[in-house]
Amino acid sequence: MLSLTLNGQRHCLNDLPAATTALSLLRGHLGACGTKEGCASGDCGACTIAIGTRNDRGELHYHSANACILPAHQLHGCHVLTVEGLARKESLHPVQQAMIEHHGSQCGFCTSGIVMSLFCLDNERRRLGMNGPPDDDTIDAALGGNLCRCTGYRAIRDAARAMHTLPRPTMDEPDDLPPASGAITNGFHHPESRHALIEILTQHPRARLIAGGTDLMLEHTLALKPLPELIDLSGVAELAHIDEQADGWWIGAGVTYHRLAPLLADHYPAFHALLERLGSLQIRHRATLAGNIANASPIGDTPPILMALGARLRLDGAQGMRELPIDDFFTGYRSTALNEGEYLDAVYLPRLQDREQLLAWKISKRRDDDISAVMLALRISMGEEGQLNDVRVACGGMAATPKRARHVEAALEGQVLNDETLDNACRALAEDFSPIDDVRASRDYRLAAVAGLLARARHRLTSRHDAIPMTLEEI
């Protein structure tokens, strides 16, 4: 049974198929039709909702999410707000009122999602005691996953700046729900421990694993493939930890990008800057690093960076735990080294050592909220005389899998990064990769683009020898 609170009212539902989306639940079962379906892929934000959970201090905290690709069963035990639940009798929420006063809506189709994204921004700022209007970067980050064809965004941004000045009705505090149980609900399995997860994997080898669902659910919503059995990782507490070690961190398979961001900002600025372009805030609230790896897409954003870092993976299953370098995980197009009954348990990020630098760039058709055409990531150590040591280079979008550029590494190792070295590294690209032509880019474009990124790396590495924080504008 699925039990949730929607806009202050408790609902209990039985017999929902495993792949039922939160959007289908809201519109088809609960009559909350203010939440719209635009793209069914988590790109447009028309379906944005606010999901509330309580922290250790009992405080209710809301985060935005795309209902179109969110498994409905993951809302069990949650407080859900949609646009219908913001007003109190005749009093609009200040986000709604600001959108009216600043003419932030025209056709209105995208408006409910925009309002919910701004509600989550307003809720978070008030929770943190932040007064005054949000700055432009904060507004852009909150709205990065909401597309609008009518208004041009200026009026919406004006509303975001003004919402804090308007009176707000008291929001009702919903009753608490029981925590999610480990019971099976019509093909949706919700284990609460590693042991239970392995048992279910053993009993249901054809079931698909799901964490945030931001990749997997597209098979259902766009490709219309059945997903009759799902094993949800979100209830396994052991997978939600970030465990610090002497020389790095183990990132559990249930850790979302949003939770991972502060660690990346402190220790891997280039990785953090890239994360700001890895989907929208709605996506980063749900998606996980492990999910991006296990999806095994050749254009996944994080595997090239993890290869450059020399990350390791921990796999678990009925036969016990084992570790392997991420270089050995991808065995072919959309295929991995996972055996039947195994799952990806955690990802190890090694610390950067003295004089080591990590650089990463992504090229896509849109700057924000788009998948890569190509990716380049480098980790190098600069010697006293400017020579490159311990070079690791990896690319995405250049082969059937994310892949190390071994010939490029050999051309750079031990060399000073001058014109001759750069030319040799660019020529070596053709030895490492033979990319295909597809809708995102041609073979020649991909080779030329990565060569251009190598030139950009040379500029950064030779303009200053100390680590320079990557900026979002560069990524």
- Which of 74-88, 97-111, 166-180, 228-242 shows the lowest mean pLDDT across its residues? 166-180
Q: What is the CATH number of domain 243-331+341-350?
A: 3.30.465.10
pLDDT at 470 over 80: no
Burial class (CB in 10 A: 0-12, 13-18, 19+), 179: exposed
pLDDT at 125 over 50: yes
DSSP β-ladder status, 79-81 and 2-6: parallel
Over the stretch 35-45, which tens digit does the pLDDT of each residue have? 999 999 999 99
Express as a percent the part of the chain with pLDDT over 70: 96
Name the residue among 43, 96, 19 with its Cα closest to residue 369.
43
Q: Helix or strand or coil: residue 395?
A: strand
Over the stretch 346-368, which tens digit does the pLDDT of each residue have? 999 999 999 999 999 999 988 77
The pLDDT confidence band at residue 214, using thresholds 50, 70 and 90, is very high
The pLDDT, as a whole number, for residue 365 is 85
- Which of 164-168, 200-204, 253-257, 405-409 shows the lowest mean pLDDT across its residues? 164-168
For the chain, how many residues are written? Answer: 475
pLDDT at 468 over 50: no
Which CATH superfamily is 356-474 part of? CO dehydrogenase flavoprotein, C-terminal domain (3.30.390.50)
Name the residue among 230, 286, 224, 229 with its Cα closest to residue 255.
286
Over the stretch 254-289, which tens digit does the pLDDT of each residue have? 999 999 999 999 999 999 999 988 889 999 999 999
pLDDT at 420 over 50: yes
What angle do helix axes 111-127 and 94-101 make, rounded to 10 degrees? 130
The pLDDT, as a whole number, for residue 57 is 81
What's the mean pLDDT in 113-125?
Answer: 95
What's the mean pLDDT in 211-217?
Answer: 94
The pLDDT confidence band at residue 168, using thresholds 50, 70 and 90, is confident
List of E strands, 106-156: none
The pLDDT, as a whole number, for residue 371 is 85
The pLDDT, as a whole number, for residue 469 is 46
The pLDDT, as a whole number, for residue 248 is 98
Q: Indicate the average pLDDT of the chain.
A: 92
The pLDDT, as a whole number, for residue 466 is 45
Tokens of 346: 């955690």
The pLDDT confidence band at residue 471, using thresholds 50, 70 and 90, is very low
CATH topology of domain 1-174: Ubiquitin-like (UB roll) (3.10.20)
The pLDDT, as a whole number, for residue 174 is 73
Sequence spans of domains, the chain: 1-174, 243-331+341-350, 356-474
- Which of 48-52, 66-70, 174-178, 379-383 shows the lowest mean pLDDT across its residues? 174-178
User: Which residues lie below 8 Å from residue 80, measured CB to CB, with a gap of 6+?
Assistant: 4, 5, 6, 7, 22, 26, 49, 50, 51, 52
State how far the alpha carbon of 439 is from the alpha carbons of 12, 155, 324, 364, 436, in Å. 44, 34, 33, 12, 10
The pLDDT, as a whole number, for residue 140 is 93
Name the residue among 209, 362, 371, 210 with its Cα closest to residue 280.
371
The pLDDT, as a whole number, for residue 183 is 57
Place of tokens 């999806």: 295
The pLDDT, as a whole number, for residue 339 is 94
Over the stretch 169-196, which tens digit does the pLDDT of each residue have? 777 777 776 565 555 578 999 999 999 9
